[in-house]
Structure 1
Amino acid sequence: MRTSRITLSAIGIAAAAGLVLSGCANGDTDGAAPAPGGDTGNGGQETFEVYALLPQGTDQPYGTTYRPPMQAAADELGINLTITNSQYDADRQASECEVAVAAQPDLIILWPAVGDTIRPCLTAAQAAGIPVTVTNSDVNPEDKDLIQAYSGPDTYGQGVSSAEMMCDFAAGEEIGILVVNGLTGNSTAINRNAGFVDTIEANCPNVTILAEQPGNWNKDDSQIAVSEMLTAVGPENVGGIYAADDTMVAGAIDALKARGIDPADLIITSIGNTFLGNPLVVSGELDGTVFQSSSWDGENAVRLAHAVLTGAPFEAELFMPSVKVTAENASDPSVAPEW
């Protein structure tokens, strides 16, 4: 197992959860004034109707640990949530958005299934006077003027962090690497790839990207993709792999093993620090990953929405802390995997 050259300090995730109500800037709410809620009879707390248009739920590990904190925050703050799950089907999410807009809720929380397909949903909500906040995967830059705010991971920054670890571990050594991207068209996939590639090109020209393929956030697809890339470029030329999440990096590692290649001989980085990825860091098969908290994500989607609805201060971009995880801190409770 390679020795890490990175000195890391874990950032407290729980401490950051309260940032949404104490942000330094107010979001732009022009043209989307919140609708007044009604009295629940519970201490006079306002209630709000909110649609949460999600692309996953308890059918996937992230959604399974994202939704309970989301619901708990909604119960605390007097928000009645209607939650959908498009299963990353852009057409299905578009239909769910039509239903949501017709229902005239006080606000829509949107987790885009496919980033470049959601503009019609946003324009329809704006025309109906319904504010939209975005969670987990931000909208494309050209759509930012149609939303109130975003909460979730800094997806570009996550790619940067994974690349920084790659550069650090390479330490000037000339290596060629394979890149496994997420689902084509997904904003998280686009941003993570951009952050990774920009950082590699700027900081470590000794690292050359030999080939890229999408792994579709899927372990089996990623194993096939890496196997194909190994054949195309020659396994003897590959000194490292970057995968845009831990599920895909696990598939990449399986592809190496199927070729009789010891993953510990390569430099491999990822994003997530999940129940799948964290043990790979501990074992030395994965050199580094970036912690992402699903519970922070779900809770703060609602807290941000509530701040927009009530006119409380909020940040237009509320990013969860990103912590680099290597063998040095993989067992630290502050970065314990959640999904």
Structure 2
Amino acid sequence: MILRTRGTLAATGLLVATGMLLAGCGSGAASDGSDGYTVYALLPQGNDQPYGTTYLPPMQEAAAKAGIKLTITNSQYDADKQASECEVAVAARPDLIILWPAVADTVRPCLEAAKAADIPVTVTNSDVIPADKSLIKAYSGPDTYGQGAASAEIMCELADGKPTGILMVNGLTGNTTAINRRQGFLDTIQKNCPNVTVLAEQPGNWNKDTSQTVTSEMLTSVGAAKVQGIYAADDTMVAGAIDALKAQGIDPKPLLITSIGNTKLGNPLIKSGELDGTIFQSSSWDGQNAVVVAEKVLKGESVDENLFMPSVKVTAANADSPEVAPEW
């Protein structure tokens, strides 16, 4: 799928033709912007996902304002598909590539190809693995480690020193966001509240139905009576975990449950008391700042290695605040 700057949806097959057209325009190094910059944004989602639906318009608006001709792809979290899209992008010789890795530990060949073609790469939303950081100019998006840590801080406060056995529902295996959120959570409970113990963990793959299934399996294998809480790496998965509790006749309200996102799915769970805390993530900030960072690189301006969006804790006390109104 290609989404052009003005929001026109074109078929995937047009990507190659577009790449051939842009090949005559891009030089592999940033132009002076007089004729507009050309940028490929290699994303793993688009209007097929709630996050992408609210991420894309601010990205496209920022690109139009900056004079950037933006070609956007959607690999649907297929690493092989994104690799093919990267080949097309590099062949097109754009001024810059924005990359949101579908699977972080598979993108090095893409980064190396871009470097060989003298095409700078910035990364958005989900960072590359540490070994690949030297191949990119900058990252913008959530502080995924910090999000996991912040969710753990809520859990520690709720546990209040009491022995608490919890289940952990992680994101997609191999995804940097999933890895960092898991580690941020684990490091923080180990440091701040060792009374909180992870009894079992499974990947929910950012999917509600999968998360319900794996939570049900963990409740059975561990024994529901031993479970006092759940941490899920995003609101979609925590909703599935809560459904699993209900399916087994367990009231989620007495349990300690935390997540990340403060989405349109998670925020009502906060208000109902079924979810105790989550971390606000702004999809609009994410899309806009992907272009803000890219534009700075294109103009030769200095950029920080990481531009992190604010991570705001959301509980019943501030769930109605306009500052954390759910976006996706």
The verdict on a shared fold, with TM-score over 0.5 as the criterion, is yes
Helix, strand or coil for the counterpart of 2:200? strand
Q: Provide the identity percentage.
A: 74
Paired residue for 1:202, among 173, 180, 191?
191
Helix, strand or coil for the counterpart of 1:39? coil
Letter of the structure 2 residue corresponding to residue 254 of structure 1: D
Letter of the structure 2 residue corresponding to residue 153 of structure 1: P
Runs of 4+, deviation exceeding 4 Å: none
Q: Deviations over 1:17-39 (max 9, x none)?
A: xxxxxxxxxxxxxxx99421452
> Partners in 1 of 2:293 and 2:104 — Cα distance?
20
Q: Is the CA contact 1:34–1:308 (under 8 Å) kept in the aligned structure 2?
A: no
Paired residue for 1:335, among 306, 324, 327?
324
Q: Which structure carries more relative contact order (alpha carbon 8 Å, separation 6+)?
A: 1
Residue 323 of structure 1: how far off its partner (Å):
0.1
> Partners in 1 of 2:165 and 2:29 — Cα distance?
52
1:43 corresponds in structure 2 to none
Q: Is residue 2:259 matched to residue 1:270? A: yes
Helix, strand or coil for the counterpart of 2:187? helix
Helix, strand or coil for the counterpart of 2:183? helix
> Partners in 2 of 1:157 and 1:33 — Cα distance?
35
Paired residue for 2:246, among 251, 257, 272?
257
Q: Is residue 2:34 matched to residue 1:39? A: yes
Q: Is the CA contact 1:49–1:79 (under 8 Å) kept in the aligned structure 2?
A: yes
Letter of the structure 1 residue corresponding to residue 57 of structure 2: P
Helix, strand or coil for the counterpart of 1:164? helix
> Partners in 2 of 1:39 and 1:97 — Cα distance?
26
2:50 corresponds in structure 1 to 61
> Partners in 2 of 1:105 and 1:313 — Cα distance?
20
Helix, strand or coil for the counterpart of 1:64? helix
> Partners in 2 of 1:158 and 1:178 — Cα distance?
18
Give RMSD over aligned pairs. 1.1
Q: Deviations over 1:75-125 (max 9, x none)?
A: 000000000000000000000000000000000000000000000000000
Q: Kindly tell me the number of residue pairs found equivalent between the two proteins.
A: 302
Gaps of 5+ in 1: 1-31, 41-46
* TM-score for both structures, normalised by structure 2: 0.91
1:18 corresponds in structure 2 to none
Letter of the structure 1 residue corresponding to residue 215 of structure 2: V
Alignment of 1:235-254 (within 5 A): 235-254=224-243
> Partners in 2 of 1:313 and 1:111 — Cα distance?
21
Letter of the structure 2 residue corresponding to residue 304 of structure 1: V
Letter of the structure 2 residue corresponding to residue 137 of structure 1: S
Paired residue for 2:97, among 108, 111, 116?
108
Q: Is residue 2:232 matched to residue 1:232? A: no
1:321 corresponds in structure 2 to 310
Q: Is the CA contact 1:181–1:189 (under 8 Å) kept in the aligned structure 2?
A: yes
Helix, strand or coil for the counterpart of 1:205? coil
> Partners in 1 of 2:86 and 2:302 — Cα distance?
27
> Partners in 1 of 2:98 and 2:30 — Cα distance?
15
Q: Is residue 2:86 matched to residue 1:97? A: yes
Q: Is the CA contact 1:162–1:289 (under 8 Å) kept in the aligned structure 2?
A: yes
Q: Is residue 2:60 matched to residue 1:71? A: yes
> Partners in 1 of 2:34 and 2:209 — Cα distance?
50
> Partners in 2 of 1:35 and 1:253 — Cα distance?
49
Alignment of 1:270-309 (within 5 A): 270-309=259-298
> Partners in 1 of 2:245 and 2:178 — Cα distance?
23
